[in-house]
Chains A and B, each alone.
Chain A
Amino acid sequence: MTAIAPAPTASAGSGSDVQIPSSPVLELRDLRKSFGETKIIRGVNLAVKRGERHALIGPNGAGKSTLFNLISGHYVPTSGEVVLNGKQIGGLQPHVINRLGLSRSFQITNLFPRLSVAENLRISVMGQHGYRFSMFRPVAGLTAVTAEVDQFLEKIRLTRRRDDNVGDLAYSEQRALEIGMSLATNPEILLLDEPTAGMSLEETAYMVELIRTVTEGKTLLVVEHDMSVVFGLCDQISVLVYGEVIATGEPAAVRNNPKVQEAYLGEEVAT
């Protein structure tokens, strides 16, 4: 793979040196998860600071998806802590975690296929506005919700497809909507699970640029296989191998880390 070619945008971003030291938004402390006898996550420590764009990379089977599922509440940790803004969230229900300010997107497209694009977004937005189980007023009258839906449509560049069924969208449009919906719950930290999986080169480039603009100022944690995406989007990289983080740091440092080269990047180059 030619994927390790340095991306100019990332070095520009990380080289600006205006980072404000702050407490981490998300912190994993000695997090462990076993399925039966099999230890998938074996003591992960990770801190994602406010405003950081953090990539989580690692070979197949390293436990990246499991880690996402632990953080977002899909799985209950075997031991250890997941701390969001100083609050332990490990083992809480997904909807509680979402309301505490953590939202995620999914690797496989995970939308409401028989609803329109705007309705998909509206589900996200109306929950954010507190209309969860409201049944005594029509949704069309919630002008603040509709306005925000239109704003997000504009951001993810799907205004033109507002009333189309999601099932009729192109794949990359569905992926954009997926991210838009995760973003519309207004999270403090956004977890993106392989946002460019299955995309062509142009689509990937478009998506990276889109993600960069829509997540401006947001804290990101991204799982990604495509190294050009990682270097183009993120200013911090953590490498997960066999359920452990073997290195964390800025892209250049991680790339030159011999342990990483041996465990992951070297293997990638070799294949």
Chain B
Amino acid sequence: MTRLRYLLILIALGVFAILPVFLSGNLLNAIIKMMISALFALAFTLAMGQAGMLSFGHAAYYGLGAFAAVHAMRFVEAGAFSFPTPLIPLAGAAVGFLFGLLFGWFATQRSGVYFSMVTLALAELLYTLAPTWNSLFGGESGISTIRGASWGISFGDDAHVYYLTLFWVTLATWCLWAFTRTPLGRLALALRDNEHRVRFLGFNTHMARTLIFALSCLFTGVAGALLAIATEAANYTAFSSKASADVVLQTFIGGAGTFFGPALGAASMTFFARVTSDLTRSWLLYQGLLFVLVMLFVPDGIGGLIAEHSKKVKKGGYKALVLPYLLCLVTGLLLLAGVVFLVESTHILLSDGYIAKTKSSGGAAVPFSFFGQDFNPRSWVTWSIPIGLLLAGAALMPAAMKVTGRAWLHATQSAPAQGETA
């Protein structure tokens, strides 16, 4: 099992290593952002998933890491000192760690909701301070800089940035994973489960929580610095509560209870945002919908789902699952198509442009186009499409759930025939 895991990791690394050969600059950029958000989520999970500290203000350390990197690059640019570009993330790490210690010392005085509120407040503090502090945060426009050439690499090419990011994300991920196996990493789990008890076993829990929080901020700072290197800029919006909320949502979608889940969640949600934001202006709605659905039906997230399958499905059990999962997919696609039709047509019908058109037409029905088709908003035929799709999906759902449930039992139970023969 572990050998298989190492093999998978090696294959994944190999694939990542050759990607720049095949991908366009645009896609490569998307993957850089996905890797960075994956690292952010992994760092966040160290505090949230492992030590049970739900920080609502992790964007603070992400932004601080980004600004630290930008300032370091500017100093190098101005010739104040020389520092190789590939090591710039260390600046983000140092600043993230220091502020993690400082802010964490206050926040970890409390646990639960109170901890979350303190972290949120501290991040908001930076968010409101940054636009007015020109010299440090560059006001509302932020600070931009240029990646310097070092070690014989120009860092002008996307592929250079890609490899730099890949190296740091891999290294940081390994550190975070190795940390879970150390005494302090095990203590984090104990703190999550029962801080009170840890105190009576001779541990200074405030110190421990501050340290773990600061380590999480250290790797968050690295992620922020990588973002600054990739974009050659940092802006006060990095501190926004949206950035803090995003990492929380991504981590939950990925599954906070697993190690790699949050990285998958963050990478896929970043990709999702990039694709859907080009296609539709309602993409935030879809993102919210996705989050609600995941929380309702797969509360353990993507990682939890994978773990369930790898742990419980017996040998050859997947055969029984293929058809039921296909049925679920069809059901899901029907429902999705219905929802998308309704959302997009509503969006068009309520848009200023369309309202102006209906006014000028003097009350006559104006067809709206959508997916290359024209639809008449006053015709029952138009609305029977989404309603039909939703009804079909809803009709299939009970059957799909029943069949999948049965197949799951079949795939996970150790041979039911044994019980009969015994």
Contact = CB atoms under 8 A, between A and B. Distances in A.
Nearest to A110: B197
Interface in B189-222: 189-190, 192-194, 196-205, 207-208, 211, 215
Nearest to A133: B184
A174 to B, nearest CB: 12
Question: Which label, helix, strand, loop or mixed, suits the secondary structure of the B interface?
Answer: helix
Given A127-B201, A134-B184, A139-B182, A112 B196 contact: no
B311 interface: no
B190 A135 contact: no
Contacts of B179: 135
Contacts of B187: 123, 132-133
A98 interface: yes
B178 interface: yes
B208 to A, nearest CB: 6
Contacts of A133: 183-184, 187, 207-208, 211
B203 A136 contact: no
A192 B86 CA distance: 56
B186 interface: yes
A119 B204 contact: no
Given A112-B189, A113-B193, A114-B189, A99 B202 contact: yes
A133 B205 CA distance: 10
Interface in A107-138: 110-115, 119-120, 122-124, 126-128, 131-138
B198 A135 contact: no
Contacts of B190: 112, 115, 119-120, 123
A114 B179 CA distance: 19
A182 B201 CA distance: 7
Contact of B193 (A103, A115, A128): A115
B181 interface: yes
A196 interface: no
A85 B245 CA distance: 51
Contacts of B199: 93-95
Interface residues of B, number: 28
Contacts of B211: 133
Given A133-B184, A135-B182, A104 B200 contact: yes
A260 interface: no
- The contact size tier of chain A is 35 or more
Given A111-B197, A113-B193, A139 B203 contact: no
B201 A185 contact: yes
A26 interface: no
A112 B181 contact: no
Given A133-B183, A135-B215, A139-B183, 12 more contacts: A114-B192, A115-B190, A119-B186, A122-B186, A123-B187, A127-B202, A127-B203, A132-B187, A132-B204, A136-B182, A138-B181, A140-B181
Interface of B: 178-179, 181-187, 189-190, 192-194, 196-205, 207-208, 211, 215
30 contacts: A93-B199, A94-B199, A94-B200, A95-B205, A98-B200, A103-B200, A110-B196, A112-B189, A112-B190, A114-B192, A119-B186, A120-B190, A127-B201, A128-B202, A132-B184, A133-B187, A133-B207, A133-B208, A135-B183, A135-B184, A135-B215, A138-B181, A139-B182, A139-B185, A139-B186, A140-B181, A142-B183, A181-B197, A185-B201, A185-B202
